[in-house]
């Protein structure tokens, strides 16, 4: 789900559209192919869902929005985001805290 890249930390995300609110919905898959499952309230029109997801990730990881970059999956459910300005250990800790039951 998380991996170190030259520009920061890459985060694999699986989007679930049509949610009542934008929130982490768990983990999709397991092992190397695991993705963070995020329920998104915004519709997938005119990039609104992608913008809402960037804002949510920025808030979750306490980063400015411009530190979040969509690397792949602009129009799909499976996306990869680059998180700049955060260490892998810190990102893992945040997700552990947010994904724990």
Q: Which domains does the chain have, with CATH numbers?
A: 2-99 (3.30.1200.10)
C-beta atoms surrounding 5 within 10 Å: 13
Q: Give the DSSP per-residue string, 45-58.
A: STTHHHHHHHHHHH
pTM exceeds 0.75 for this model:
yes
- Rg for the chain, CA atoms, rounded: 12
pLDDT above 80 (res 101): no
Place of tokens 């996306």: 79
Residue ranges of the alpha helices (H) in the chain?
48-60, 88-99
Mean pLDDT of 18-25: 92
pLDDT tens-digit map of 24-55: 998 988 887 899 999 999 888 888 999 999 99
How far apart are the C-alpha atoms of 88 and 46, rounded to whole Å?
Answer: 31
**What does the mean pLDDT of the chain come to?**
92
């Amino acid at each position: 789900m998380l991996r170190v890249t030259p520009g920061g930390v890459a985060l694999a995300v699986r989007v679930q559209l049509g949610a009542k609110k934008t929130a982490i919905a768990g983990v999709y898959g397991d092992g190397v192919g695991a993705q963070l499952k995020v329920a998104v309230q915004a519709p997938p029109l005119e990039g609104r869902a992608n913008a809402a997801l960037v804002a949510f990730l920025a808030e979750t990881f306490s980063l400015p929005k411009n530190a979040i970059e969509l690397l792949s999956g602009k129009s799909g459910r499976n996306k990869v985001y680059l998180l700049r300005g955060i260490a892998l250990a810190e990102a893992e800790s945040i997700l552990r805290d947010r994904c724990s039951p």
